Amino acid sequence: VVAVDGGAVSGDVNYRVLLPADRDEARRLFAALLDAGTPCLPGFCLDDVVRQTQRGAIGRMLNPLPDVAPYLLDSRLCQFAVPLEIIWGESDRLFPIECGRRMAAECPAARLTVIPHCGHMPQVECPKLFRETLEQLLNAPPPATKAGGDAVGK
């Protein structure tokens, strides 16, 4: 399994920010998601983000904001008896790298690879480096089972 910025995990995340109500809130959301060196989206794109998040999958899941615990991936990815590759954008401030480190530590056979100067969406923000990283990981031996972890495949 390859997880890119791992998904929803517990921590100090205000999930309400994923539902921006206006252009300014969308701008702040993308400032937290993207590397500081990445240009901000133009206003008309931010307006579309506002429209789409309210009625899209994130909006349906979070509006009204429920208890998000059932949707979090804490320890859930590790229930599968397969190695886990985790690719994380170093500059993601909404789901900081500590979330990826915790996810990797919880799983018996996981490897965390950090992409520098990328945010929450490295496949969009740094596509060439993301593709190269993914190809290297898929061509490398899988992550080894950690001491004390269950053997992969059991």
Output the DSSP codes for the chain. -EEES----SSS--GGGGS-SSHHHHHHHHHHHS-TTSPPPPHHHHHHHHHHHHHSHHHHHHSS----GGG--TTTGGGSSS-EEEEEETT-SSS-HHHHHHHHHHSTTEEEEEETT--S-HHHHSHHHHHHHHHHHHHSPPPPPPTTSPPTT-
Please write the tens of the pLDDT for every residue from 22-57. Answer: 999 999 999 988 999 988 889 999 999 999 888 888
Q: State yes or no: pLDDT of 135 exceeds 90.
A: yes
User: What pTM does this model have?
Assistant: 0.79
Q: State yes or no: pLDDT of 150 exceeds 60.
A: no
